[in-house]
A = this chain, B = another copy of it.
Amino acid sequence: MRLTKQTNYAVRMLMYCAANEGQLSRIPEIARAYGVSELFLFKILQPLNKAGLVETVRGRNGGVRLGKPATEISLFDVVKVTEDSFAMAECFEDGAIECPLVDSCGLNSALRKALNAFFDVLTEYSIDDLVKARPQINFLLGLTGEHDYRKPAVPAPAA
């Protein structure tokens, strides 16, 4: 049981944007900070944008920023976008299922309940919580030094 690479990288990108609050973040810089592929980050950008979790600004001085405050983006909001499927077992799927026990099987309902407990915890955590948990995040990501991420070193650009 493992989350997809998409989820992992989406969370990292959102954490970067949160740490770089008030600025536009550029994909090549995010890719460099985490040592990951630019192409992969570009691919995740589209579904995150569609879900309103990020906004992109085109052009030479363009970039990406959070689509809403970091306090209002939960980890569950992210996995809903980036996980292809929460079909934990064959019996979660539509269509042809070979198991003779499929209808109202106890396994299916137990797994659903467990998955909901998992989601409930993810709903409790916002991108802001993750960033707050790393006091030196700006420094670690090669951003503008070791300051509080909530106080950008330079003023936010006009919208």
A interface, CB within 8 angstroms of B: 1-4, 7-8, 11-12, 15, 33-36, 75, 79, 83, 85-90, 98-101, 104-107, 109-111, 113-115, 117-122, 124-125, 129-134, 137, 140-141
Contact = CB atoms under 8 A, between A and B. Distances in A.
Contact of A121 (B1, B107, B110): B110
Given A121-B113, A122-B110, A101 B137 contact: yes
- Number of copies of chain A assembled together: 2
Given A34-B99, A117-B121, A107 B89 contact: no
Contacts of A104: 133-134
A116 B79 CA distance: 17
5 contacts: A12-B101, A15-B101, A35-B100, A106-B131, A110-B124
Given A1-B83, A114-B117, 7 more contacts: A1-B1, A1-B4, A1-B79, A12-B101, A35-B98, A101-B140, A118-B118
B137 A110 contact: no
A67 to B, nearest CB: 19
A49 B144 CA distance: 56
